[in-house]
Amino acid sequence: MTSVEALEAVLSVPPAVVGVVLATGLGFFLGWRAWQRCPHCGWLVRRVTEGWRRCRVCGRQYRRGLRVR
């Protein structure tokens, strides 16, 4: 495949598909910022912005930047 053919292949993708891909990437990026792993059990929990939160799976508290395991 030449570079021109590759460019034509990219340009032939429907704009809707590009929009879905961008929205998925943006959503994943925002989700990655809003969630974190529980430092105790590894469960997906809300990211702490300030103070402490309690994991609903293991019941232990965690805070921003805490590294236990």
- The binding site for Zn ion (CB under 5 A) comprises 38, 40-41, 43, 55, 57-58
Q: For Zn ion, give the closer residue by CB, 36 or 55.
A: 55
Residue 46 near residue 57, CB atoms below 8 Å: no
Q: For Zn ion, give the closer residue by CB, 23 or 57.
A: 57
Q: Min. distance of Cβ 34 from Zn ion in angstroms? A: 17
Q: For Zn ion, give the closer residue by CB, 18 or 60.
A: 60
